């Protein structure tokens, strides 16, 4: 059976660990040549070593870095077929306490980084006459939110708007642009920084009864990056175990009267 991404060149930004590493792993399993990009040098090098890909240290919020990582993929593998921009930061600060500098930093990485990655990848994909761009958004912002995530919510809602605009503009070049909206994903970072009680509380809010895994998100990204999604553009896939479905707190089939 032919692998779905056999011979494809993929650039995965924010892939040192967590969801991004899961995406890079699925791509390698499906035959892609993967360039892993992240600001976390040691973790990124380790992930690239494990997967057999190339690692490039970069800050995707900087134009020169975005262009450099695309150039690296093209020079290493002769072109670029798939871009995944997964890099994101999510400090917790109430709106009344967010300093403009913190606001700018969150939007620089999450939203400006999305724009710069797409802009840098566009010429290489135009040269191919085809391409797949997939961006990691979130249910936080486009669907729901919580206190302390004003800047993060704004950045992720902005990504959804950008996806639609880019999908329309890039359709002429045979390039599709889509995204995924993960819910609560049980990454190593969550395990390290969240209590067991918090994780149980979040699990109880998910109809499927568990938090997602990086692989759950990676499988959705893989689909959008594959030929199977050739006629899909300008949309997002929610990967949240049904978390955003309930009208209220109690979603049992027979709640108490």
Alpha carbons within 13 A on the beta-carbon side of 86: 27
- Give 83-109 as a 3 state SS string: EEECCCCCCCECHHHCCHHHHHHHHHH
Catalytic residue among 77, 90, 152, 231: 152
Longest dimension (CA), the chain: 65
Are 146 and 93 a contacting pair, CB within 8 Å? Answer: no
Q: Please give the Cα distance from 164 to 190 (Å, whole number).
A: 30
Determine the Cα–Cα distance for residues 191 and 69; give it in Å rounded to an integer.
30
Instruction: Read off the DSSP letter of residue 36.
Output: E
Handedness of CA 63, 69, 72, 73 (dihedral sign): negative
Q: Would you call 173 a catalytic residue per the annotation?
A: no
Q: Using DSSP, state whether 233 is helix, strand or coil.
A: coil
The two tokens of residue 190 are 């969550």
Could you give the residue numbers annotated as active site? 152
């Amino acid at each position: 059976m032919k692998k779905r991404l056999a011979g494809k060149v993929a650039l995965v930004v924010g892939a040192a660990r967590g969801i991004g590493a899961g995406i890079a792993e699925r791509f390698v399993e499906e035959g892609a040549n993967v360039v892993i990009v992240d600001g976390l040098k040691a973790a990124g090098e380790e992930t690239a070593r494990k997967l057999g890909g190339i690692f490039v240290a970069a800050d995707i919020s900087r134009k020169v870095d975005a262009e450099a990582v695309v150039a690296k993929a093209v020079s290493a593998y002769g072109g670029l077929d798939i871009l995944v921009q997964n890099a994101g930061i999510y400090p917790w600060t109430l709106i009344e306490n967010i300093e403009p500098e913190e606001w700018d930093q969150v939007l620089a990485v999450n939203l400006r980084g999305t724009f710069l990655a797409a802009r840098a990848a566009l010429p290489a994909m135009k040269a191919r006459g085809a391409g797949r761009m997939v961006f990691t958004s979130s249910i936080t912002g486009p669907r729901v939110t919580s206190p302390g995530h004003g800047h993060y919510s704004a950045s992720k809602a902005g990504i959804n708007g950008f996806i639609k605009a880019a999908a329309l503009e890039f359709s002429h070049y045979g390039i599709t642009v889509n995204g995924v909206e993960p819910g609560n994903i049980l990454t190593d970072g969550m395990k390290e920084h969240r209590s067991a009680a918090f994780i149980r509380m979040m699990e109880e809010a998910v109809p499927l009864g568990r938090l997602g895994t990086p692989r759950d998100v990676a499988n959705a990204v893989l689909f959008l990056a594959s030929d199977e999604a050739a006629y899909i553009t300008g949309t997002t896939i929610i990967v949240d175990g049904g978390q955003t479905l309930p009208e209220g707190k109690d979603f049992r089939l027979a709640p108490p009267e």
